[in-house]
A and B are shown apart, each in its own frame.
Chain A
Amino acid sequence: MAKMTMIEAIRSAMDVSMGRDDNVVVFGEDVGFFGGVFRCTHGLQQKYGVSRCFDAPISEAGIVGTAIGMAAYGLRPCIEIQFADYMYPAYDQIVSEAARLRYRSAGDFTCPLVIRMPTGGGIFGGQTHSQSPEALFTHVSGLKTIVPSNPYDAKGLLIAAIEDPDPVIFLEPKRLYNGPFDGHHDRPVTAWSKHELSEVPEGHYTVPLGKAVTRREGGAVTILAYGTMVHVALAAAEDTGIDAEIIDLRTLVPLDLEAIVTSVSKTGRCIVLHEATLTSGFGGELAALVQEHCFYHLEAPVMRVTGWDTPYPHAQEWDYFPGPARLGQALRDIMEAR
């Protein structure tokens, strides 16, 4: 075991995968010689050579399009889109091509491909370095979508994603890269080294796709969260003293419905939490599933705490970010609801 940040865990996942399988290749903008703007691929080119880890032109459609061709050939590309906000030029390749290749060719061609993208705000990135576009992927049949919340999961999920036979969108909450950010932006930054989930095996292991995990057991209310929001939820439970059960979904598609239903059936209350915009967000899907499967257990309407339906602002970042204060108020409200 070693102490790792999210960045180191993600790098270790690619390192382990490249070491085990010659077909794993890594590329993207600034990914090769320099090692990525967030340093996630640092050292991989030196270790595995320029054929396995290389710089790409600034063309997201080209990066994803060539990766699909490589995957069809038989490689397992693990590519980086520098920010999730930059993925739109590649969206056609992701939606119409990667996601449907197996289906439309009846399995004649497949697309084992991982697309890594830093996601979410909290770093004063403004509208083009802060978005959380997970619902644009969960809405697409044929894709799997992952959002890890800690170094241990990030490594195990990324290795599982690279070994998966289908295209996987791997969203890395960039505010978590260097520490478990709980939304209290006015407090000192904490490091991963003090967090138990920064204990990461140096070798190969996987965290299975489609399995949620309970981060905090509680009886009063269920909070469904993923990525950065898992830490926000933990902080809000602590701040309010409300006995919340916190489910870290980890994989959005395929979703661990059983874990959700078990928890909400027990607590009778549910808050859905995400940083992305509200309308047509993944929270809408979660709320609908809870309603369909837990209606007779519910003691209060399902609530959603999310980013506002606006572009992600720059100066007003902390008015936008659904932090522990806003979630805390929702927790108090849902406990009072009858």
Chain B
Amino acid sequence: MSSDKAGGEPAAIQPLKFHVPKPASRPGEKPDFSHVVIPKAGSVARPPVDVDPKDIRDLAYSIIRVLNREGQAVGPWVPDLSHEDLIRGLRHMMTLRTFDARMQMAQRQGKTSFYMQHTGEEAVSCAFRIALQPGDMNFPTYRQAGLLIAHDYPLVDMMCQIYSNERDPMKGRQLPVMYSSKEHGFFSISGNLATQYVQAVGWAMASAIKNDTRIAAAWIGDGSTAESDFHAALVFASTYKAPVVLNVVNNQWAISTFQGIARGGSGTFAARGLGFGIPALRVDGNDYLAVYAVAQWAIERARRNLGPTLVEYVTYRAGAHSTSDDPSAYRPKSESDEWPLGDPLIRLKQHLIAVGAWSEERHKQAEAEILATVIAAQKEAESFGTLHSGGKPSARDIFEDVYAELPPHLRRQRQQIGV
């Protein structure tokens, strides 16, 4: 008689159990981030960029941090940024936050249909952009407008896009915040998820094919890493050693779905890179200096033909997913306040004050200046119309740009609409 246990009774076969991961807490419960293990700032080593990926597998499970609780920049990842650079970075993040607040309000006032804020995640896109060179190309998601703001893309143009007005660079065709600017290294946002990730790899492959010096940066959220395009991107990036930085912004929440649903049992999103032989770093996404330092490391690797790097930004989506979302329905209201990596603006501000380069007075003054700038841009943008009033794109624009040249069947359809 056969048995599973040597010498014992046959094991009774137990019914299978279905496993669905659960977040640490739901509304009405106490927020719990005990699962987020945070190493001390400055404690993670900085390897040379030409390190053998297999020698830094531990970096996929740690968190690179520069700013400590006292606001000091410490350890081997302290980047070479001047106080002026950091003040500029702070102003970028403040501009993005102010921009978000005004556009959120404009949506509530009915001036547009939809908006998506960056609250809590401003450092990720703002700091990354500064590490890129002109000509490099981002393939962003809808929550990386800092890539535009930190590259001095006109706020008025962004707002005209959000308002779908007569000056909308996208001619009214795209949902609000789905910007595009080749000139500013910002690929057209799809609105589908993850499709851009593999396209970024293709762009980077093209740059290598042409012996160019430009690199690509791919962007994705924690939830969308579950899409097959993410895995295809890693296969292609790994196979062809594409000059691309593969960014994963882990803001803990994919609308109402906690990151554990996409992550499964792998521990971290960064660890996804290891099976592909892609070096993977995890970084404190709310630490402007750490984000810049890690971006610079990964970008240099790409530029030096050393191949792709996967970077997981550990951050927290402090606001709603979009204007159509209410996070109080699925997570504790106070969870945002309990997030252990703090607020990226406050942390950089405190650092600049700690090193004597900034003050509360200067901060208040900067806030007022930025608010005035954003309001002025908003007034100008609204003079070209908002979604339901004033100037709007032409009905002709429905038919243009489907193809380079208008084919006969679209010409007939355009005639039917009478434009």
By a beta-carbon cutoff of 8 Å, the part of chain A in contact with chain B is 25, 51-52, 56-57, 59, 61-62, 65-70, 72-75, 89, 92-93, 96-97, 101-110, 141-142, 144, 165-166, 210, 253-255, 257
Contact = CB atoms under 8 A, between A and B. Distances in A.
B198 A102 contact: no
A163 to B, nearest CB: 12
Given A104-B173, A105-B170, A142-B402, A257 B199 contact: no
Interface string B161-199: 000000001110110001011100001101010010111
Contacts of B202: 65-70, 72-73
B188 A105 contact: yes
B173 A106 contact: yes
Contacts of B18: none
Given A103-B173, A104-B173, A66 B236 contact: yes
Nearest to B393: A106
A57 B404 CA distance: 31
A96 B181 contact: no
Contacts, number: 137
A22 B203 CA distance: 16
A174 B210 CA distance: 33
B173 A254 contact: no
B235 interface: yes
Nearest to B212: A73
Interface stretch (B226-234, B324-332, B367-375): B226-234
Contact of A73 (B206, B229, B404): B206
B190 A72 contact: no
A254 B409 contact: yes
Nearest to B174: A104
Given A96-B195, A97-B199, A105-B180, A142 B403 contact: yes
A70 to B, nearest CB: 4
Contacts of B229: 61-62, 65, 92-93
Contacts of B192: 92, 96-97
Nearest to A142: B402
Contacts of B403: 102, 142, 144, 165-166
Contacts of A101: 188
A61 B232 contact: yes
A105 B190 CA distance: 9
B236 A104 contact: no
B225 to A, nearest CB: 15
A66 B404 CA distance: 22
B409 A257 contact: yes
A70 B206 contact: yes
Given A69-B198, A92-B195, 8 more contacts: A25-B206, A62-B229, A72-B203, A93-B198, A103-B401, A104-B190, A109-B182, A257-B408
B306 to A, nearest CB: 18
A75 B236 contact: no
